[in-house]
Amino acid sequence: MKREILKMGDPRLLERAKLVERHATPELKALVADMRETMIAARGAGLAAPQIGVGLRVVIFGFEHNERYPDAEPVPYTELINPVLTPLTTEMEEDWEGCLSVPGLRGQVPRFTRLRYTGFDPEGRPILREVSGFHARVVQHECDHLDGILYPMRMRDLRLFGYTDVLFPDADVIEE
Ligand code: NI
């Protein structure tokens, strides 16, 4: 079932989400299915459970080609429970991000360029990956939602924050 996406200003987006304690439950599978349907309907690159008002450490992300990020390399579709991120470098890179909870806007956000992430899929099977580039960026963005952090809170220069249609007037960017 497609769910409503909370927008910035809703205090639920600022809470720290709780660990999922039991894997492979019908409730967890239903949550992930709802998140997937909601993300696809919004043409998003990722979604975190708090964005639909569920305070659990669950994120999904991935796409073959995303209209919101036409230049991004594909990221395998991933459902990740209780993620733990470990940067593999101190190097950070700034690039544009948007968020389904911050519709119509984009900002330049610094992120680690390479990291390892671990966690579980909804069946309880472990996931361990080392990633870089846009994949690393998306994971950091989604996992920030689990700690109540929205991307504008990570920005260093608010002059690089604006409306998508003004920043990218010629781009074929689908708005959320
Ligand atoms: Ni977001």
CB 44 within 8 A of CB 99: no
Which token pair is 160? 């690089």
What's the chain's average pLDDT?
94
11-167 CATH choice from 3.10.450.50, 3.10.50.40, 3.90.45.10, 3.30.1300.10: 3.90.45.10
Q: What is the mean pLDDT of residues 11-40?
A: 97
What's the pLDDT at 68? 73
Q: How far, in Å, is the centroid of ligand 1 from the Cα of 142?
A: 6
What's the pLDDT at 173? 56
What's the pLDDT at 172? 58
Among the options 79, 97, 142, 176, which is catalytic?
142
Q: How far, in Å, is the centroid of ligand 1 from the Cα of 35?
A: 13
What's the pLDDT at 174? 47
Q: Which amino acid belongs to residue 151?
A: Y
pLDDT band at 126 (very low <50, low <70, confident <90, very high): very high
Each residue's pLDDT tens digit, 34-57: 999 999 999 999 999 999 999 999
Q: How far, in Å, is the centroid of ligand 1 from the Cα of 126?
A: 24
Q: Which amino acid belongs to residue 117?
A: Y
Q: How far, in Å, is the centroid of ligand 1 from the Cα of 88?
A: 23
**Annotation says 93 is catalytic:** no
What's the pLDDT at 175? 45
CA 52 to chain centre: 12
CB 61 within 8 A of CB 142: yes
Count of alpha carbons within 13 Å of 56, Cβ hemisphere only?
18
Least confident residue range of 63-72, 80-89, 137-146, 164-173: 63-72
